[in-house]
Structure 1
Amino acid sequence: MGSLTHFTTIVLLISGFLSIQAEENKSSKPCEFKAIFNFGDSNSDTGCMSAAFYPAILPYGRTFFHEAVGRASDGRLIIDFIAKHLGLPLLSAYINSIGTSYRHGANFAAGSSTIRRQNKTFFDGGTPFTLEVQIEQFYQFKTRTGKFFLKANKSSYTRHFPRPEDFDKAIYTFDIGQNDIADVINKFGKEDSQASISNIVDYFAKQFQSLHYFGARTFWIHNTGPIGCLPVAMPMHNAKNHISEAGYLDKNGCVNYQNDMAKDFNEKLKDVVVKLRTMFPDASFTYVDMFSAKYELISNANKQGFVEPSRICCGYHEFGYHVYCGNNATINGKQIFTSSCEDPSKYISWDGVHYTEAANQWIANRILDGSFSDPPLLIEHACHI
């Protein structure tokens, strides 16, 4: 009887080991994403605002594309490096009607976009393409492409649009929230921001639920970066000078209270992601700590071959006057022409708000391997629940 018990124990141990091995093999298999659908603001806009309003001009795009292609950088964005890493083409902006292909996904991100609706026009720094609108655009895109594939002659559609089954096998990426935090900073300052940030995150959660209803199953969610480290927020480029205030700036010259608001947003967002995992056990939700990845770069700029993180490659930002890259202005009777620096690859900040291609690539390399993710998965394994 003892021998039988011993044998049974061995069998159970072997079975358990094989089960663990099978699970590991399952989780180690790449997801083979067929498409990317991206939602966000100017940090991942690949041409929406440029197609909708005023087209981008050089020196935007000078480094990689050698022409302006609607990206708020000298070259590629993080979403471009994500696509490259997954072996997919760079994403076309959803509303860009010229020379576009949506075979492997679409980009709904738009500059100035927010999670929550703002009472601003485009000319006041607002956008009609809030996250809610972007998701409605996605739903329309999915519905209309589905109808194409019901037609007898499908050959012309298969070259340009994702197949209906590709939507389930896609990764849905998000990089939005920075403009919401900036709005809270402008309206509330240090105090009374908690309720507003909670409201923004709650609204974000509803949009995830909408996308799940529309069939999304793999979510890759960036939190918001250190907004207080954007050069335009720093006192040296701003009319407001609080350098003498104790605790106003951190060791890198970043504005502490602005970064604290971003951290509050990020903590609430992570809590939401945890809840969504429980609500939707058929989906995978990866939370990506972009704040930490970007802050690591800013903290080690010189060691990584970059100039001081407060320096701006393109634009004029002095004494509280802001003339953004590609624009000209007259300030105190002096004509200001904004040209770009000689070597953007040495800079973290492209225009005071957005990152250079070199910085975007550095950050992408850090997040794609799961080092800043919860759970800590390679992006190509993000579909595993």
Structure 2
Amino acid sequence: MSLYACRNFIGRSLILVGEIGGNDYNLPLIRGRSIDYVQSYVPLVIDSIVSTINELIKMGAQTLVVPGNFPIGCFPSYLTTGVSGVSNNEGYDPITGCLTKLNEFSEYHNKMLQTKLNQIRELNPNIVVIYADYYNAAMQIYNSPDEYGFTNGVLKACCGGGGPYNYNASIRCGDASTILCDEPDKSVSWDGVHLTEAAYKLIFKSLFQGQYTTPEFYSLCPRPSTSKGTVISSSSI
């Protein structure tokens, strides 16, 4: 493929940048580092994301989707292992049961990321940079799980190693001793670290058909109308 053809291809593509940073934070947190310590990584992670975006723009990218971080304080893995400096008797959101400080950490990352994305937009007014709000798209599930059909315990892994959150770092999903739920589509977490297909599907719809992107996809790609002015649904295309 020629350089011109490559730039043309990239320019016509919707490029998903990330989500970046999850593993950079997970490893030190799991190894017992405090949230305050790991927070010092955030500027480095954000700089890497910005560098990646700028390089893609140089290569011809015109439309990029940049996701934020998930509410990791709701993940069974962290709820089971805990976080350094957070007591078992404190730090839990009274509504969701999630670890408040970990979710605040995710929000800190997302706020800094959005600040940098605004700067990129100012420097590149002809480039579309879309922020995908993974955090709030997921939090709607944790705040109202029954409303979305997640009735198997929103903070409990479907496939895991037992315990209150069905998570055990020594027992991976698929091991002989794994405890598997009967209806994965009614669970939010698959293995304590990753979400179920049902949860990801809802998040996808919230992003690409809802209000959890900045700017919203509908403002960029409005659905065409028929001659009678009715909207053509995606199922009819």
Q: TM-score range by the shorter chain?
A: 0.7 to 0.9
Corresponding residue SS for 1:219: strand
Question: TM-score if structure 2 supplies the norm length?
Answer: 0.80
Cα separation, 1, equivalents of 2:219 and 2:73: 28
Show the 5 A alignment for 1:255-274. 255-274=99-118
SS in 2 for 1:220: strand
Partner of 1:305: 149
Aligned pairs for 1:240-279 (under 5 A) are: 242-245=87-90, 248-251=91-94, 252-279=96-123
**What SS class does the counterpart of residue 324 from structure 1 fall into?**
coil
Secondary structure in 2 aligned to 1:351? coil
Alpha-carbon distance in 2 for matches of 1:294, 1:267: 16
Partner of 1:368: 208
Equivalent-residue separation in structure 1 for 2:168 and 2:191 (angstroms): 13
Q: CA deviation at 1:370?
A: 4.3
Query: Structure 1 residue 172 and structure 2 residue 15: aligned?
Result: yes
Greater C-alpha Rg: 1
Deviation readout 1:317-367 (Å, 9 max, x if unpaired):
438842121124xxxxxxxx2153221111111111111111111111111
Q: Secondary structure at the residue paired with 1:208? A: helix
Query: Could you tell me the percent identity over the aligned residues?
Result: 24
Kindly report which structure 2 residues correspond to 1:13-162, keeping only aligned pairs within 5 A, or say none: 145-146=1-2
Which residue is 2:228 aligned to?
Answer: none
What one-letter code is carried by the residue in structure 2 that aligns with 1:215? G
TM-score (norm 1): 0.51
Match of 1:355 in 2: 195
More deviation, 319-328/224-233: 319-328
Secondary structure, aligned partner of 1:285: strand
Matched-pair contact (CA < 8 Å) for 1:297–1:304: yes
8 Å contact from structure 1 (residues 220, 287) kept in 2: yes
- CA distance 1:301–1:279, change in 2 (3 Å): same
Q: Which amino acid aligns with 1:325?
A: C
Looking at structure 1, the residues matched to 175 and 93 of structure 2 have their Cα atoms a distance apart, in angstroms, of 31
CA distance in 1, matches of 2:156, 2:204: 21
Change (3 A) 1:170 1:303: same
Partner of 1:189: 34
Q: Match for 1:167: what amino acid?
A: I
The structure 2 residue matched to 1:377, chosen from 213, 217, 223, is: 217
Matching residue of 2:49: 204
* Matching residue's letter, 2:155: S
Question: Unaligned regions of 5+ residues in structure 2, if any?
Answer: 223-237
Q: Partners of 1:233 and 1:261 in 2: how far apart?
A: 13
RMSD: 2.6
**1:182 to partner: Cα distance:** 1.9
Aligned in 2, Cα 1:315/1:146: closer, same or farther, shift over 3 Å?
Answer: farther
3-state secondary structure, aligned to 1:221: strand
C-alpha displacement at 1:268, in angstroms? 0.5
Whole-angstrom distance in 2 between the partners of 1:204 and 1:271: 12
- Return the letter of the residue paired with 2:2: G
Q: 1:187 to 1:211 in 2, by over 3 A?
A: farther
SS at match of 1:210: helix
CA distances 1:216-275 after superposition (whole Å, capped 9, x unpaired): 1101111011011111111xx337783313xx1112111111111111110000001000
DSSP-derived class of the 1:191 partner: helix
Aligned counterpart in structure 2 of residue 288 of structure 1, from 128, 132, 144? 132
What SS does structure 1 have at the residue aligned with 2:14? strand
What one-letter code is carried by the residue in structure 1 that aligns with 2:92?
Answer: L
Residue 233 of structure 1: SS of its match in structure 2?
helix
User: Any stretches of 5+ residues in structure 1 without a counterpart?
Assistant: 1-144, 150-161, 329-336
